[in-house]
Amino acid sequence: MARVFVSGSSTGLGLLTGKELLASGHDVVFHARNAARAEDLRREAPQATAIVVGDIGTIGGALDIADQVNAHGAMDAVIHNAGVGYGGALKRTAEGHPDILAVNVLAPYILTALLSRPKRLVYLSSSMHRTEPHLDDILWQTRRWNGSLAYSESKLYVTALSFAIARYWPDATANAVDPGWVPTRMGGPGAPDDLVEGCATQVALAASHDSRLSGLTGEYLHHMATQAPSKVSRDVDFQDRLLDVCRELTGIALRVRTREGRLEKP
């Protein structure tokens, strides 16, 4: 039995992922953005081990969520599921960060840095991650806003983050998952992929002992199979630059240990 935290799990893929884990006998800590969603979640998943509540899209909110999760003890696995889509205008958080960047990239970075280290980490990516990075204007201060491009960039960044963690944390597994275009609030009712199949890979990576997936790390998967990610996501210099940018924007350093045993601070 594993203990798993799933961010953004009051609706959609996150909720279904948590339910699938509960049905398999695992302990699941769910996350809801506010009290109203938490109440809905208690009705949807009454067997939840715990529900943490807070806005993961602000630095303070992500810090609070990390504290709440850690209060329930170390997790065996963390699924970074929370995400913002690309359908709207530019929205900035209290810190001035685009909400797509804050939720899709900075929140998983903060939680990765501050949660008691799990054995398995899963980061939600997208087939749309195949784009060019713009770390020099990651906050969209000089470019004209393009929500679709901002979303694609955020998924490139979180994919690269997962590979960096796999590289720096050899005692854990870290992978990126493309769940497909599924009919959630973000994907819309006309999305062509299957919702259940869309959560199967992250469920397996988090808790399964399937020989195909257990021990797999530093990979990009879609529907239980590895795929080739964008080349730039594999570039270790780009990964380290991304970690530098995330540290600068959040004020939080990610402590890592290399395979050679050296303690480093990217």
Query: Around 207, how many Cα atoms within 13 Å sit in the side-chain half-sphere?
Result: 24
Closest CA to 93 of 143, 118, 59, 54: 59
| CA 79/CA 205 separation, integer angstroms | 9
Q: Which residues are catalytically annotated? A: 151, 155
Closest CA to 165 of 82, 254, 80: 254
Alpha-carbon distances, residue 78 vs 19, 43, 44, 63, 124 (angstroms): 15, 23, 20, 15, 11
Q: Does residue 152 contact residue 131 with C-beta atoms inside 8 Å?
A: yes
Burial of 154 (0-12, 13-18, 19+ CB in 10 A): buried
| CA 204/CA 4 separation, integer angstroms | 12
